[in-house]
A and B are shown apart, each in its own frame.
Chain A
Amino acid sequence: MLIAMASTVVFFTLLFLLITNAPGWPEVKATFFNWDAFKDSFPEVARAFLLNVKMFCIAEVFILIFALMLAVVRSLRGPVFFPLRALGIAYADFFRGVPTILVIALLGFGAPALQLQGIPLSTTFWGIVALVLVYTAYVSEVYRAGIESVHPSQDAAARSLGLTHLQSLRTVVLPQAVRRVIPPLLNDFIGLQKDTALVGFLGAVEAFKQSQIDAAATFNYTPFVAAAVLFVSLTIPLARFTDWLVERDRRSRQATGAR
């Protein structure tokens, strides 16, 4: 413990000295870590960040639902469901393969250009749709891994009691599967939070776009640091919260009732 602390202190002190003694440091400090520029841009970037929060909150709800449906479809057995399974595989392959920024560009610029009656024109809307499409593909794989990690004997036990395939899935397999994949689900959730910055490409003024605007106006890159601080300040507490949830669930299952 003491050794770990000492070595950490030494390491970071050395790193700090190395960077601050670099020949270009004064200039880097002035353009990236300028306290006044930070104070000036932070409120604006923070306000724009609310759009990121809104986008990933809305997107996450749909992703969790659609991805689960996709994973369930792909878990169906029997030749009758082959077309559905094939569609699910094609979907996952396609949207995991295409770069997110391309999907966002195609939908964000392409869909409004169709000029169809009643089609939304908002870049935020199409940005969210693109994120949902892409992340549904990733998250469905996470769910699927969870479903396959539940031993077949659990399903056999449920079916032997007369439960239907869907009843067994809903009450026995999925609750166990989802618990096991909470950490990787959070991983994708954090990825989604960061990828909301890509929607700025369409012109939506979210945190990254706002910091770009500020940087261009002041010739100072500190607004990017402000945006980074905002993203990190959200993901870190979320990661600790998930750890806590997983640990609590594990404890409650092993400790209770041993009386």
Chain B
Amino acid sequence: MSEALLVEGLHKSFGANEVLRGIDLSVAEHEVVCLIGASGSGKSTLLRCVNLLEPIDVGRIVIEGDEITARGVDVNQVRRRIGIVFQAYNLFPHMRVLRNVTLAPTLTLGKSQAEAAAEAMVLLERFGLSDKWDAYPDSLSGGQQQRVAIVRALAMRPDLMLLDEVTSALDPELVAEVLEVIRELAAGGMTMLIATHEMSFARDIADRICFLDAGVILEQGPPATILSEPSEPRTQQFLQRIIEAGRL
């Protein structure tokens, strides 16, 4: 059987700083995997590598049987199959919400503006944003902007969604609306790899949690095991600090 995502022996350095030191990870179809770990442990870099936004040094990444890190692969084709949502939303501020969502489908999938717009409106409706279709991003709340960013990624009908700390930049009262959207995606069977600091959310939604430390996956397993009875001392330390900070 082919995994939705398979990462093998992935290394990535920025100059002398080796951020990923041999990541092995597989994600099955419809599985939701959460990446936890301290800042700088390599969560974001791993997601950016999977989307080929960062070139990798060593290793291979396979999406549904296709090795995307092989030579001669069209990176643009690959990225159309993988949605990514960033911490800072990164919406296009000079475009209205609807155009933000329809840009990629019209440019890269050859859809007509009318067709793309109709599909976009269905998605916006589904996530409670249909009245915002002609707003500019700057006039929306952070939670609304992040939901638009999720819709923008979904409009490409990706096989896999990567979420990079999507609630970290939000005011606390806006976190719930975004997490609700992600829950709905999970319920719909979307395969997701999620970097997050929201431990209770991870416990709820994840099929599996991976603890990253210094560029390797130190420990992984079902949420109950990792969050309640981790076997590695580093994981225990990390969770202890989270609990002391009142985040679990």
Q: A and B, one complex?
A: yes
Residue numbers of A with Cβ under 8 A of B are 153-154, 156-164, 167, 171-172, 175-176, 179, 252-259
User: Which secondary structure dominates where chain A touches chain B?
Assistant: helix
Q: Which of B79, B131, B135 contacts A160 (CB 8 A)?
A: B79
In the complex, chain A residues whose CB is within 8 Å of the CB of B140: 257
State in angstroms the CA–CA spacing of A163 and B107 once bound together. 7
Check B136 against A161 for contact (C-beta < 8 Å).
no
Check A160 against B53 for contact (C-beta < 8 Å).
yes
Closest 4 CB pairs of A and B: A257-B135, A162-B80, A161-B104, A157-B90
B180 to chain A, nearest CB (A): 22
B88 to chain A, nearest CB (A): 6
Q: Which of B76, B90, B134, B135 contacts A162 (CB 8 A)?
A: B76
In the complex, chain B residues whose CB is within 8 Å of the CB of A159: 53, 76, 79
A152 to chain B, nearest CB (A): 10
- B90-121 CB mask vs A (1 if < 8 Å, else 0) is 11111011000001100110000000000000
In the complex, chain B residues whose CB is within 8 Å of the CB of A154: 90, 92
State in angstroms the CA–CA spacing of A150 and B26 once bound together. 35
User: Which secondary structure dominates where chain B touches chain A?
Assistant: mixed
Which residues of B206-246 have CB atoms within 8 Å of chain A's CB atoms? none
B136 to chain A, nearest CB (A): 5
State in angstroms the CA–CA spacing of A161 and B79 once bound together. 6
State in angstroms the CA–CA spacing of A163 and B103 once bound together. 9
Check B138 against A254 for contact (C-beta < 8 Å).
yes
State in angstroms the CA–CA spacing of A77 and B135 once bound together. 34
State in angstroms the CA–CA spacing of A153 and B135 once bound together. 21
Check A254 against B136 for contact (C-beta < 8 Å).
yes
State in angstroms the CA–CA spacing of A180 and B134 once bound together. 22
Check B90 against A153 for contact (C-beta < 8 Å).
yes
Check A161 against B139 for contact (C-beta < 8 Å).
no
State in angstroms the CA–CA spacing of A51 and B35 once bound together. 67
Interface residue? B49 (CB, 8 A): no
A77 to chain B, nearest CB (A): 12
Check B153 against A153 for contact (C-beta < 8 Å).
no
With A153-B88, A176-B93 as contacts: A256 and B134 at CB distance below 8 Å: yes
Interface residue? B77 (CB, 8 A): yes
Interface residue? B51 (CB, 8 A): yes
Check B86 against A157 for contact (C-beta < 8 Å).
yes
State in angstroms the CA–CA spacing of A157 and B76 once bound together. 12
Q: Which of A156, A158, A162 has most chain B Cβ within 10 Å? A: A162
Check B139 against A255 for contact (C-beta < 8 Å).
yes
Check B139 against A257 for contact (C-beta < 8 Å).
yes
Q: Residue on A with the closest CB to B133?
A: A257
Check B53 against A258 for contact (C-beta < 8 Å).
no
Q: Residue on A with the closest CB to B87?
A: A153
Interface residue? B203 (CB, 8 A): no
Q: Residue on B with the closest CB to A164?
A: B76
In the complex, chain B residues whose CB is within 8 Å of the CB of A157: 86, 90-92
Check B103 against A171 for contact (C-beta < 8 Å).
yes
In the complex, chain B residues whose CB is within 8 Å of the CB of A171: 103, 107
Q: List 18 A-B contacts (CB under 8 A).
A: A154-B90, A156-B86, A156-B90, A157-B90, A157-B92, A159-B76, A160-B53, A161-B152, A163-B76, A163-B103, A163-B107, A171-B103, A172-B92, A175-B94, A179-B94, A255-B139, A257-B135, A258-B135
Q: Which of A156, A162, A164, A257 contacts B96 (CB 8 A)?
A: A257
State in angstroms the CA–CA spacing of A163 and B106 once bound together. 10
In the complex, chain A residues whose CB is within 8 Å of the CB of B104: 158, 161-163
State in angstroms the CA–CA spacing of A160 and B156 once bound together. 11
Q: Residue on B with the closest CB to A255?
A: B139
State in angstroms the CA–CA spacing of A176 and B90 once bound together. 13
In the complex, chain A residues whose CB is within 8 Å of the CB of B107: 163, 167, 171
Interface residue? B132 (CB, 8 A): yes
A217 to chain B, nearest CB (A): 54
Check A161 against B103 for contact (C-beta < 8 Å).
yes
With A159-B53, A160-B84 as contacts: A257 and B92 at CB distance below 8 Å: no
Q: Residue on A with the closest CB to B162?
A: A160
A155 to chain B, nearest CB (A): 9
In the complex, chain A residues whose CB is within 8 Å of the CB of B77: 162
In the complex, chain B residues whose CB is within 8 Å of the CB of A258: 135, 139
